[in-house]
Structure 1
Amino acid sequence: MKVICAGIQKTGTKSVAEALRILGYEVHDVFQQYFYEEELWKKLLSNRITKEDYVEAFKDVDAVTDFPASVVWEEILKAFPDSKVILTLRSSEDEWYSSVKKHYEVAYNLIKVGWNDTLYTILTYLAGPLNRDFTNFTILFMNNAFGTRFPWGIAPEPILRSRYRQHNMYVRSRCPPRQLLIYNVKDGWGPLCEFLGVSVPDAPFPMKNVASSFVKEVTSNRGENDSGFSARSHKELVLRVSLFVVSLIVLLLYLICYLI
């Protein structure tokens, strides 16, 4: 482990993940952590985790970004004390809150039937086990990262703003200054490459997940660096929708024959 990205969600984490990949790092973002570090997070949730577990789980990983790693960045640093820590920030707290709000709006506009319990139950079945498991995983760790739980809606603005300030202040106060970069992705390659001690690549700095576009990409089977999540979930959805339609047709034919 060389780089631990401690920035909370919606602070440019997807952009930093892609930038580190361009620089040659093996990066585990949200989906990689979900697929490859599953046992680690189970131990964490059951309060059985040790420093050795972090060492074993991340021994072949160069960098981690976003949750769950950002929630336990300090524990990962204890396991890899020579790692560098990047705290990503937005230009202002208002900008961060607007981005979080936009993310929720995009996500919930894609599942409007979720507001109806019956329709949501059907949608959950059709989405398949992979989507259900990832949704539960997301809720667990995003709630921990934001410090609260508000299913089917954004947390109250004062709580979110407070959590953002608390997280950033804690990282600043607990991470050794020589190992910490406080970074805004708008600053581009310069500060990042200088901190990591690498040359600036001959490529534009990546800007990912602008206006929560990553949510749309994953749900429309166009996700990149998602460890095959969007493709697998799309297959599950197609299969289950097909079975659902066939079942309805069979039921309809049975009723017609019965009534006749």
Structure 2
Amino acid sequence: MSLKNRLVEFKRRLQVYNKPKIFGIGANKTGTTSLKAAMDDLGFIVGDQRKGELLLEDWAHRDFSNIIKLCRQGQFFQDVPFSLPNTYVILDNTFPNSKFILTVRDSAEQWYNSITKFHGKKWGKDGQIPTKEDLVNADYIFKGRAWRANRLIFDTPENQPYQKDRLLSFYNNYNDNVKYYFRTRPDDLLVLNVGEKGAYKKLCDFLKVESKRKEFPWKNKTINK
């Protein structure tokens, strides 16, 4: 790393030193991109999402050392691997006094429709739900990464990578486990449906910040679709 890059990194770490961490732990396609935009707009130092995505294999092997290291470079993090099972438990123990935001949809059915529609547009043939072949040939980060992610995250048959019942169970179980884990600590977890009226104020109240905005700065909006 060059001296200039080292100075940039040092200044960044100095900015977040001793500041509490905030983690968006909602499953992908629950308004996480809009939450990220809101956190950036509110002045929080948002971590590098792509660096997080590259740590999927670390998460799969339950090696959280690099994930923890990444967390020292920012204040707010979301998406993979922060949206995956077990991560929030490790982060909660590693970074005391952190805040967690569990973004949710109106229902598991709505989430399923959103994630399959989104992935269909990215990787499916004619917008259809992607098959194994589609995912294997998808060029995202690297060829086949979409298939690898599907295998590591979802317990679905290879010939039905988006089997509905399995994905609905994944979504419901994950959310239930998060809420159960924080059941005695309501001040540390915010369950947030960004599509609901008043959601932005709810976020600001939870973070104890003020904003002139009234609504979320929408990104990738599919909340009502």
- TM-score, normalization by structure 1: 0.63
**Is residue 79 of structure 1 aligned with residue 90 of structure 2?**
no
- What aligned pairs does 1:1-260 form with structure 2 within 5 A after superposition? 2-28=21-47, 30-34=49-53, 38=54, 41=56, 43-50=58-65, 53-71=66-84, 72-107=87-122, 108-109=124-125, 131=140, 133=142, 135-136=144-145, 138-148=146-156, 150=158, 154-175=161-182, 176-187=185-196, 188-202=199-213, 204-211=215-222
**Amino acid across the alignment from 2:188:** Q
SS in 2 for 1:185: coil
- TM-score, normalization by structure 2: 0.72
**Amino acid across the alignment from 1:24:** G
Instruction: Name which one, 1 or 2, has greater alpha-carbon Rg.
Output: 1
SS in 1 for 2:210: coil
How far is 1:100 from its partner?
Answer: 1.7
Write the distance in 2 (CA, Å) between the matches of 1:191 and 1:111: 35
How far is 1:200 from its partner?
Answer: 2.3
1:141/1:177 Cα in 2 relative to 1: closer, same or farther (>3 Å)?
Answer: farther
How far is 1:116 from its partner?
Answer: 11
Over the residues paired in the alignment, what is the CA RMSD in angstroms? Answer: 3.3
Runs of 4+ in structure 1 deviating by more than 6 angstroms, as ranges, are 114-117
Where do 5+ consecutive residues of structure 2 fail to align? 1-19
1:172/1:110 Cα in 2 relative to 1: closer, same or farther (>3 Å)?
Answer: same
Deviations 1:24-63 (A, max 9, x none): 11223642423xxx4x55544445444xx54432112111
How far is 1:177 from its partner?
Answer: 2.3
How far is 1:69 from its partner?
Answer: 1.4
Where do 5+ consecutive residues of structure 1 fail to align? 213-260
Write the distance in 1 (CA, Å) between the matches of 2:94 and 2:26: 19
Bigger relative contact order (CA 8 A; separation at least 6): 1
